[in-house]
C-alpha cells in the first residue's frame, strides 16, 4: 500500500492534523500513514516511529541539548521513507526540524506538503526561498501570511482556515456576547493555561498560582480552573493543589472557555483560542537566558508574541515576558477587566472580528491531498 510520512512533533500539530486527516483517510483508504505523532494520531491508525512526548522541545537551549537526537531522527525518517518508497510527506509546523527534513525529502523526489508555514516573518526570512524550492504545497493559517510568502517567491501557497476555527467549531457555535456585569467583582471565573511542555508549566504555573493567591485576597469566591495535560508528570501541578476548583483536559477547554471571565496563559496557539472565545487573557512567557539572548539580540524581534495580538496588530492582551512575569502585574491586569466596564468592553470590541479573520481559505484540505497524492 502507498505510504505517507506525517510529522507532528508537538501537541498542536496533532490538533492541526485532525482538520484534514480523517477526510483524507476516508477518501484514500489505500494510503497508510507513519511518522511522528502522539496518542491522537495513533488512535487514527498511524504507525508511530517516534512519539511526540520524546520529540518536542521549546526554545534554543532545549533544542541545542537535543541536536544529536534530532540529527539521528532525520536520518531514520529519510531512510525509512526510502525503504517504504514513500511518495508524499505531510510536515506540520515544528519548523526547525521539518524544514531540514523537507529539504532532504525533496532531494529524493518525495513531495512535501507543509502544513502551517514557518514564522519566517519573525526571523530568518530567507527560509521562504527554501520553501519555494522544496515544498509541493505550503499551507498558511494566518491572514497576512499568503501575501508575505508570495511576495518572497513562494508561489505554491494555499491559505486555509486556522485549525482552531475547525477544531473548536462546536464550542464557537455556542458563543454569545460577553457583557460586563457587577458579578465579575464578586464571583468571576479564572482559567489557568500554563502550556503543554515541561519548559512552560515548570516555571509558569507557580507564578500563576501566586497570582491566584493575590486575586483571592480581594475576591475570595473567585472560581479557578486549570487545564492540564496527561503526558506531564502530575508533580508539575502540585503547587496548584488546594487552589484549583476544577481540573480540565485540553479536549474540554473550548467549552469551558465559554464560561471563563479571564485567563492567564502561556504564549502559544491557545492565546488565539482564548481570543476567539472572547476571553480577556494575560499572556506569559518565560524561558532560559540563552533563549532570551537569541531572540532579543540575534533575532531582534520586538513585536507582540501572542497570536491574537499579532493577528489584530495591536496589544489587546497584555504580555509579560521573562523577568516581567510578576504575579502582582498579572493580577492587576485581570482586575482591570473585572473592575472596569470600559476596559472589559474595549477588549470585547477588539476581539469581535478575530474569528472571522481566521476563517478564510481552502476548507477541503483532505480532499485536495486525496486528489493529488500518488
Is 140 in the same domain as 253?
no
What's the pLDDT score for residue 121? 84
Q: Are 58 and 133 members of one domain?
A: yes
How many domains, the chain? Answer: 2
Q: What is the mean pLDDT of residues 304-324?
A: 92
Tens-digit pLDDT profile for residues 267-276: 988 999 999 9
Mean pLDDT in the chain? 91
pLDDT band per the 50, 70, 90 thresholds, residue 117: very high
Domain membership flag for residue 227: yes
What CATH number does the domain containing 346 carry?
3.40.50.2000
pLDDT of amino acid 60: 46
Residues 96 and 150 in one domain: yes
Based on the fold, state whether residues 120 and 66 are members of the same structural domain: yes
What tens digit of pLDDT does each residue of 126-169 get? 899 999 999 999 999 999 999 999 999 999 999 999 999 999 99
**37: closest CA among 65, 12, 8?**
8
Average pLDDT of the residues in 218-233: 93
Residue 298: what pLDDT? 44
* Whether residue 186 sits in one domain with residue 148: no
pLDDT higher than 80, residue 66 = no
Q: What pLDDT does residue 297 have?
A: 45
Is 38 within the bounds of a domain? yes
Instruction: With a cut of 70, say whether residue 62 has pLDDT above it.
Output: no
Residue 296 has pLDDT above 60, yes or no: no
The answer on pLDDT for 294 being more than 80 is no
The whole-number average pLDDT for the span 64-71 is 80
In the predicted model, what is the mean pLDDT of residues 226-241? Answer: 90
pLDDT at residue number 133: 94
- Residue 292, φ and ψ in degrees, nearest 5: -65, -40
110 in the same domain as 80: yes
Per-residue model confidence (pLDDT) at position 199: 81
The DSSP letter of residue 238 is: G
In a domain, 208, yes or no: yes
> Residue 176: is it exposed, middle or buried by C-beta count within 10 angstroms (0-12/13-18/19+)?
exposed
More confident residue, 122 or 16: 16
Residue 184 inside a domain? The answer is yes
pLDDT of residue 122: 78
Residues 350 and 363 both lie in one domain: no
Task: Report pTM.
Answer: 0.84
The pLDDT, as a whole number, for residue 119 is: 86
Euclidean distance between CA atoms 196 and 253, whole angstroms: 13
Note whether 47 and 21 are within 8 A (CB): no
Q: What percent of the chain has pLDDT over 90?
A: 77
Residue 302 pLDDT more than 70?
Answer: no
pLDDT, residue 65, reads 59
Flag whether 76 is in a domain. yes
Percent of the chain residues past pLDDT 70, beyond the cut:
93
C-beta of residue 96 within 8 angstroms of C-beta of residue 58:
no
Residue 116 has a pLDDT of 94
At residue 115, the pLDDT reads 97
Same domain? 128 vs 147: yes
Residue 212 burial (C-beta neighbours within 10 Å; 0-12, 13-18, 19+): buried
- Tell me the average pLDDT across 328-351: 97
Residue 322 pLDDT class (50, 70, 90 cuts): confident
Per-residue three-class SS string for 302-319: CCCCCHHHHHHCCCCCCE
Is 166 within the bounds of a domain? no
Q: Are residues 352 and 363 in the same domain?
A: no
Instruction: Tell me the C-alpha to C-alpha distance, in Å, between residue 262 and each of 259, 282, 326, 347.
Output: 9, 8, 17, 11
Domain of residue 250 covers 172-357
> 212 and 321 share a domain?
yes
167, part of any domain: no
Q: How do residues 209-223 score in pLDDT, each as one tens digit?
A: 999 999 999 999 999
Rg (CA), the chain: 21
User: Within a domain: residue 305?
Assistant: yes
Do 279 and 231 have their domain in common?
yes
Residues 244, 266 within the same domain: yes
Amino acid at each position: 500500500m502507498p505510504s505517507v510520512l506525517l510529522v507532528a512533533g508537538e501537541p498542536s500539530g496533532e490538533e492541526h492534523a485532525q482538520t484534514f486527516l480523517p477526510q483524507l483517510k476516508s477518501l484514500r483508504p489505500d494510503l497508510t500513514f507513519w511518522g511522528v505523532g502522539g496518542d491522537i494520531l495513533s488512535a487514527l491508525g498511524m504507525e508511530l516511529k517516534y512519539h511526540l512526548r520524546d520529540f518536542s522541545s521549546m526554545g534554543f537551549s532545549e533544542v541545542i541539548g537535543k541536536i544529536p537526537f534530532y540529527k539521528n531522527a532525520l536520518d531514520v525518517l529519510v531512510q525509512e521513507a526510502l525503504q517504504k518508497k514513500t511518495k508524499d510527506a505531510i510536515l506540520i509546523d515544528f519548523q526547525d526540524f521539518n524544514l531540514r527534513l523537507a529539504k532532504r525529502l525533496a532531494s529524493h523526489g518525495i513531495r512535501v506538503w507543509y502544513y502551517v508555514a514557518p514564522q519566517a516573518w519573525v526571523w530568518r526570512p530567507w527560509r521562504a526561498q527554501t520553501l519555494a524550492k522544496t515544498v509541493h504545497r505550503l499551507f498558511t493559517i494566518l491572514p497576512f501570511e499568503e501575501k508575505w510568502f508570495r511576495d518572497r517567491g513562494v508561489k505554491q501557497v494555499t491559505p486555509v482556515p486556522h485549525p482552531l476555527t475547525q477544531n473548536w467549531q462546536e464550542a464557537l457555535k455556542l458563543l454569545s456576547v460577553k457583557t460586563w456585569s457587577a458579578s465579575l467583582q464578586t464571583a468571576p471565573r479564572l482559567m489557568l493555561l500554563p502550556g503543554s511542555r515541561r519548559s512552560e508549566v515548570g516555571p509558569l504555573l507557580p507564578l500563576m498560582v501566586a497570582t491566584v493567591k493575590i486575586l483571592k485576597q480581594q475576591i475570595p469566591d473567585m472560581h479557578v480552573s486549570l487545564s492540564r495535560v496527561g503526558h506531564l508528570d502530575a508533580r508539575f501541578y502540585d503547587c496548584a493543589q488546594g487552589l484549583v476548583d476544577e481540573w480540565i483536559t485540553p479536549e474540554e477547554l473550548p467549552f469551558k472557555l465559554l464560561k471563563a471571565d479571564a485567563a492567564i496563559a502561556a504564549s502559544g496557539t491557545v492565546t488565539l483560542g482564548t481570543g476567539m472565545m472572547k476571553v480577556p487573557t494575560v499572556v506569559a512567557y518565560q524561558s532560559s537566558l540563552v533563549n532570551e539572548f537569541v531572540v532579543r539580540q540575534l533575532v531582534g524581534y520586538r513585536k507582540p508574541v501572542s497570536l491574537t495580538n499579532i493577528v489584530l496588530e495591536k496589544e489587546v492582551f497584555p504580555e509579560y515576558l521573562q523577568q516581567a512575569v510578576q504575579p502582582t502585574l498579572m493580577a492587576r491586569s485581570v482586575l482591570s477587566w473585572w473592575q472596569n466596564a470600559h476596559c472589559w468592553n474595549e477588549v470585547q470590541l477588539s476581539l469581535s472580528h478575530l474569528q472571522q479573520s481566521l476563517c478564510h481559505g481552502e476548507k477541503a484540505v483532505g480532499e485536495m491531498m486525496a486528489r493529488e497524492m500518488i
